[in-house]
Homo-oligomer: A and B are copies of this chain.
Amino acid sequence: MKNNFKVIAFDADDTLWDNEIFFRQTEEQFCNLLSSFSEPEATMKELLSVEIKNLEDYGYGTKAFMLSMIETAIKISDHKVPQNIFQQIIELGKKQINQEVNLLDGVLELLDYLSQKHYKLIVATKGDLLDQERKLKKSGLEKYFHHVEVMSNKRQSDYRKLIQHLDIQPEDFLMIGNSYKSDIEPVLELGAFGIHVPYHILWEHEKADENGEHPNWMKVKGLAELKAFL
């Protein structure tokens, strides 16, 4: 793959730091709260369905997740869930919002290396704006990045806007992220480049088939491997 990019964009959640694992932990505790009304598996299925239904109204992030948990609790218990459960859902959400940030292996090493090169480095992430800024600050990684782009979604049209805003051409843009569906596929369609670094768990809604044939992307096991290519 070529390496004369002008801008390298990093996804944040599960690319720079752990994220999905905290959602899984909160989901598990949420299922426990509702265990007298529904089996965990059925609760999870309903929660996912409520979350996907609400994506258009709420977008991504912890506040959306909290509101969907509340709606799921009402639905699953047929309006019979005890009052204190709502309070506990709010507390679970706030705990997740204030979670520590654990950097993934190889992040610091790669960013140190890239910061000595000519690339403009940015963060391009979807999710909640405040969540992402808070995590970036806690991560200590702010200094490596020119700025952060929080995107309401990561479809082709969202990346087109981002590339225009950066005043570059698609072939000058490399996206690095853990979700083929959100970080790789839409940038390939635009003529930009992608490097897929899978994380050990992936949200159900992010699962997608990969186009192994396309010349503009590759998959690596961890960020440490990238130094050889950039």
Contacts and interface: CB of A to CB of B under 8 A. Distances in A.
* Contact size range, A: 20 to 34
Contact of A57 (B59, B86, B94): B94
Interface stretch (A4-12, A111-119, A126-134, A194-202): A126-134
A183 to B, nearest CB: 18
B74 A83 contact: yes
A221 to B, nearest CB: 32
A64 B67 contact: no
Contacts of A79: 83-84, 87
A83 B84 contact: no
A136 to B, nearest CB: 11
Interface stretch (A25-33, A100-108, A146-154): A146-154
A123 to B, nearest CB: 12
A63 B58 contact: yes
Contact of A80 (B63, B67, B83, B147): B83
22 contacts: A57-B94, A57-B97, A57-B98, A58-B97, A58-B130, A63-B63, A63-B64, A66-B67, A67-B67, A70-B86, A71-B90, A79-B84, A79-B87, A81-B83, A86-B86, A128-B128, A128-B129, A129-B151, A130-B152, A133-B152, A147-B165, A150-B150
A63 B152 CA distance: 14
Interface in A25-58: 57-58
Contacts of A83: 74, 79-81
A207 interface: no
A155 interface: no
Nearest to A54: B94
A138 interface: no
Given A130-B59, A150-B129, A67 B90 contact: yes
A24 interface: no
A161 interface: yes
Contacts of A57: 94, 97-98
Contacts of A59: 128-130
